[in-house]
Structure 1
Amino acid sequence: MPLPGSVSADAGASLLQLGGLASLVAVGALLLALLVRLLVRMSRSAAAAEPPPPPPAPAPPRVAGPATPRPAAAGHHPVGRRSPGTGAQRAVTGPRRPLQAVAADLRRLTGELSMVPGGLSGERRRDLLAAYDDVLMEAADLLQVPHRLRTEPPATRELERLRLLSELEAAGLVVSG
């Protein structure tokens, strides 16, 4: 048995205190996990107890006449949506956007695509790529850089994106920032 005040006695006491502290932390984490689980169950049961919302009112009957333009959905690219892989795109009407706005969109979408989480749905990734392609083509049109992004098959479209991006940077567009 070590003498009181010796180094081995102090080390033993320190290890005992460290073990006690570790067990307290483990018990605290367990209690926190149980509390979170309880809160999740309570919120689910409260949501299940709420009455279902009333059914939506029936749509008014369609009347034949001139078609009214559909407003653009929030969060969609102003140039318009296109089906990925088809190359189909609505024509741009009205004035063109400033190059600064196009470059800002390109930087934003480049950042979003570079940090795509692994669990992202395929549909969301296709939507991001379609918006990215639209902005790339818009920037290429503004800077008069030739591109084949609309006609490129899906298997080689990524190479065309990289080539077009380097051409735009060579033309003076700041993409990375």
Structure 2
Amino acid sequence: MRLGVLTVLLAVAVLVILLLVRWATGELEHRRAARRRAEARALARRTAPPRPPTRRPATHPAGRRVGPPTDPNLPARRPLEAVAADVRRLTRELAMVPGGMPMARRRGLLAAYDDVLVEAAALLQVDHRLTEVPPEHRELERIRLIGSLEAAGLVVGR
């Protein structure tokens, strides 16, 4: 009989200690707050008016979007975010060029970098002369254009 009482007292003591630890760490309050948030969301769902059905964009029977006609003479432009990401990527690649890299690859990287800088300048309406200056003066024009792009709000180096 005494062994049974001691076992029950030991089990109760362990449960009380676990409850105190959960209270001290804030787990009980966290669970209570989570339960309240769930009840509030359920109540909001029950009392909220039904949402109007969303309209899908009009599509062509073949699956193409139907929209206002675009001028075929205008070149398609990429979003500024994509151009900015390319500028940052190419800036990092040019900064990390290894010493034994072939000159053709380096020139290709510089040509791609120039193209992306010119595209960013066109999107932000920044004046540049990168395509007009001779190759020996291009690095200075690149630096000036990067400064102008940063002044216009483009984040180049990160």
- Range into which the TM-score falls when normalised by the shorter chain: 0.5 to 0.7
Larger radius of gyration: 2
Equivalence for 1:163 = 144
TM-score (norm 2): 0.53
1:50-107: CA deviations, max 9, x gaps? xxxxxxxxxxxxxxxxxxxxxxxxxxxxxxxxxxxxxxxxxx9642000000000000
Between the two proteins, what is the percent identity of the paired residues? 69
Equivalence for 2:67 = none
User: Considering only aligned residues, what root-mean-square deviation do their CA atoms show, in Å?
Assistant: 1.3
In the alignment, the residues of structure 2 paired with residue 95 and residue 133 of structure 1 have an alpha-carbon distance, to the nearest angstrom, of 19
2:128 to 147, 155, 158: 147
2:81 to 100, 103, 108: 100
Runs of 4 or more, structure 1, over 2 Å off, are none
Equivalence for 1:33 = none
Equivalence for 1:64 = none
Aligned amino acid, residue 137 of structure 1: V
Equivalence for 1:43 = none
Equivalence for 1:172 = 153
Aligned amino acid, residue 160 of structure 1: E
In the alignment, the residues of structure 2 paired with residue 166 and residue 142 of structure 1 have an alpha-carbon distance, to the nearest angstrom, of 15
Structure 1 runs not aligned, ≥5 long: 1-91
Equivalence for 1:15 = none
In the alignment, the residues of structure 2 paired with residue 93 and residue 109 of structure 1 have an alpha-carbon distance, to the nearest angstrom, of 27
Aligned amino acid, residue 88 of structure 2: R
Aligned amino acid, residue 148 of structure 1: R
1:134-170: CA deviations, max 9, x gaps? 0000000000000000011111100000000000000
In the alignment, the residues of structure 1 paired with residue 134 and residue 109 of structure 2 have an alpha-carbon distance, to the nearest angstrom, of 18
The alignment covers a number of residue pairs equal to 86
In the alignment, the residues of structure 2 paired with residue 94 and residue 166 of structure 1 have an alpha-carbon distance, to the nearest angstrom, of 26
Structure 2 runs not aligned, ≥5 long: 1-72
Give the structure with the larger helix fraction.
2
